[in-house]
């Protein structure tokens, strides 16, 4: 049984706008799966349908099913989906700008109960992947560079210890050197921690270079895989 199964879903915004039209994909445990396509193809909407964040944008899955680890999750509140092990890293490096780097990481750990000792261990684990965050841990996240903010949002994902991490355009707006560094970290998370990755990208060359499987989206549905 796949870890994630999206079965022929339709998504409508504001009760009128049909965005996804019979969208289906599967993600096997331990895989890196890439979803590629042009702007407006429905890639980000697909991730939000899985994570439950459609509700915040007046969107709704009106047909089909989404199953994670054998549990149907479409219709669940986002916080329940996170606790099941699904974490979405949003497009645009959305950090809590007025909190420090460390406080950003602590905030992400509240999805699960853990002791102070375990919390410190998780933070140190994130710093082992992103040493630059350790150097900036007392600084406000709003003053980080774009690359450092991308590291921070991925680090927040690590704090939640997800079974499935969904990354929305992690290369967006970064220099080629930083893009390579971020993609190397994604591979390490998958290889070292066994984290399953669902990666939405426009950089097809980079995404397919690390992916086990790829899907191409167009006009709200998969046209090639």
Mean residue pLDDT across the chain: 91
**What does the pLDDT read at residue 70?**
93
**What does the pLDDT read at residue 61?**
94
Confidence check: pLDDT of 225 > 90: yes
Q: Is 209 exposed, middle or buried (0-12, 13-18, 19+ CB in 10 A)?
A: exposed
Q: Return the higher-pLDDT residue of 88 and 16.
A: 88
Confidence check: pLDDT of 34 > 90: yes
List CB contacts of 79: < 8 A, sequence separation 6 or more: 111
In the chain, what percentage of residues exceed pLDDT 90?
69
Confidence check: pLDDT of 112 > 80: no
Confidence check: pLDDT of 98 > 80: yes
Confidence check: pLDDT of 17 > 90: no
**What does the pLDDT read at residue 15?**
82
Helices (H), the chain: 43-51, 78-84, 101-109, 116-129, 131-135, 146-159, 176-193, 204-210
Question: For the segment 139-194, what is each residue's pLDDT rounded down to a tens digit?
Answer: 999 999 888 998 999 999 999 889 999 999 988 888 888 889 889 999 999 999 99
In the chain, what percentage of residues exceed pLDDT 70?
99
Report whether 33 contacts 214 (CB < 8 A): yes
Model confidence band, residue 58 (pLDDT cutoffs 50, 70, 90) = confident
Dihedral of CA atoms 128, 204, 6, 220 in degrees, nearest 10, equals: 140
**What average pLDDT does this structure show over 39-51?**
93
Q: Distance of CA 114 to CAs 55, 109, 122, Å?
A: 28, 8, 10
Confidence check: pLDDT of 217 > 90: yes
**3-state class (DSSP) for residue 35:** strand
List CB contacts of 86: < 8 A, sequence separation 6 or more: 50, 51, 68, 73, 162, 163, 164, 166
**What does the pLDDT read at residue 108?**
80
Confidence check: pLDDT of 93 > 80: no
**What average pLDDT does this structure show over 42-46?**
93
């Amino acid at each position: 049984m796949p870890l994630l199964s999206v079965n022929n879903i339709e998504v409508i915004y504001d009760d009128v706008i049909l965005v996804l039209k019979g969208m289906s994909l599967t993600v096997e445990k331990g895989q890196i799966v890439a979803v590629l396509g042009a702007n407006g193809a429905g890639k980000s909407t697909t991730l939000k349908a899985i994570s439950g964040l459609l509700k915040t944008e007046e969107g709704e899955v009106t047909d089909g099913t989404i199953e994670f680890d054998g549990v149907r999750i479409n219709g669940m509140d986002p916080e329940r989906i996170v606790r099941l092990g699904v974490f979405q890293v949003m497009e645009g490096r959305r950090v809590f700008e007025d909190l420090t780097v460390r406080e950003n990481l602590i905030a992400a750990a509240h999805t699960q109960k853990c002791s102070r000792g375990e919390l410190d261990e998780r933070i140190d684990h994130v710093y082992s992947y992103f040493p630059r965050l350790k150097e900036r841990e007392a600084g406000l996240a709003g003053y980080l560079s774009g690359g450092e903010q991308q590291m921070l949002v991925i680090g927040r994902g690590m704090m939640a210890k997800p079974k499935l991490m969904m990354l929305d355009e992690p290369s967006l707006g970064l220099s080629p050197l930083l893009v390579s560094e971020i993609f190397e970290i994604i591979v390490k998370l998958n290889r070292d921690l066994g984290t399953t990755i669902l990666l939405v990208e426009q950089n097809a060359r980079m995404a397919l270079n690390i992916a086990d499987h790829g899907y191409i989206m167009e006009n709200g549905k998969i046209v090639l895989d």
